[in-house]
Amino acid sequence: MSVLFEPCTLRSLTIPNRVWMAPMCQYSAELSGPDAGVPNDWHFAHYAARAVGGTGLILVEATAVSPEGRISPADLGVWNDTQVEAFRRIVAFLTSQGTVPGIQLAHAGRKASTGRPWTGGGPLGADTGAWRTLAPSAVPFDEGYPVPAELSVEELRAIVGQFADAARRALDAGFRVAEVHGAHGYLIGQFLSPHSNRRTDAYGGSFENRVRFALEVVDAIREVWPDDQPLFFRISATDWLDQNGWTADDTVRFAALLKDHGVDLLDVSTGGNAAGVSIPVGPGYQVPFAARVRAETGLPVAAVGLITDPEQAEKIVANGEADAVLLGRELLRNPSWARHAARTLGGDVHVPPQYHRSV
């Protein structure tokens, strides 16, 4: 029996296999008006295809907890009831295929107010709908980016509340897993790293202060998220900086705190907070960071990053380096990757009756 296709139980939730879909922004929502941030037919078709393909858990892309928390105007949101109603259709279909629906809750911070990648990305201008960006400190992400407004303590508390409200709405929509986006240089990750956090108050300086905001968000979500349903946290395990950045040692230390605060799994990625860094990209290049967290803290982890073939994924789980693998671009290329991997490895996976001829 393939370990990749064994169930994974977190709290009272059992995920049918360990092939999971990483959150990947589609930049395909309406840009403004009453349908801003609302999932549409593109999102339905996109996620439905991966569920039909046998994926055990789908984490819906970074979904903003407020309009100003979007990466781009075309991002999904979960700050109003119209968005919730549209999500219900997607969630119901994923569930009907045996796939567990999850959602990543996010605030982009100083990396907000940018264009779609295929239109050039980068910061929006005043004539293209730019809005004020927010951050722990008034330090821009890179050259050409605006200087963000440094958040006051009162504003921080309001954002913590926005995360909690978003979690309530996600639960109402039927999601079974919530993930806090603390990676890739977005707002929570900006607080964690001394590279982007230059504050001198209770939210900056020491490690304990820099992780304070993240833990407050986790606590607020855990208060409204059911005790029997898991909460994930996505982390960038390193900024890939030689000095004055977030490190793998910090990640292990923080993971132990997250575990104490009710996080059930760490989704381990890297980078995104510092521009222009050199990252040694290669097959499974981020797996060692996940493996170290699991070995040193006992917190379950999911590994992500250039995991592309079934034997590679099987080995990661079988060796105890991770409890599950998260596929990104590979699932964009092949929505039925899980079904093909099950055939290769001798595992069992859900196949809709309409597709039995493909087995």
Which tokens belong to 253?
Answer: 């230390």
What region does 115 belong to: left with phi over 0, alpha with psi -120 to 50, or beta? beta
Q: What share of the chain is helix, strand, coil (3-state, %, to 5)?
A: 40, 15, 45
How far is the C-alpha of 347 from the C-alpha of 12, rounded, in Å?
23
Residue with tokens 């109003």: 80
Q: Are 110 and 134 in contact (CB under 8 A)?
A: yes
The verdict on whether 186 is a catalytic residue reads yes
**Of 186, 203, 285, 355, which one is the catalytic site residue?**
186
Residue with tokens 């990757």: 337
How far is the C-alpha of 136 from the C-alpha of 151, rounded, in Å?
6
Residue with tokens 């549409």: 40
- Relative to beta strand 265-269, strand 19-21 is unpaired
How far is the C-alpha of 85 from the C-alpha of 40, rounded, in Å?
11
Q: Is the dihedral of CA 295, 300, 301, 302 positive or negative?
A: positive
- 259: number of Cβ within 10 Å: 18
Q: How far is CA 49 from CA 33, 38, 59, 112, 336, in A?
A: 28, 19, 14, 29, 8
Q: How far is CA 254 from CA 57, 172, 262, in A?
A: 25, 30, 13
Q: Which residues are catalytic?
A: 186
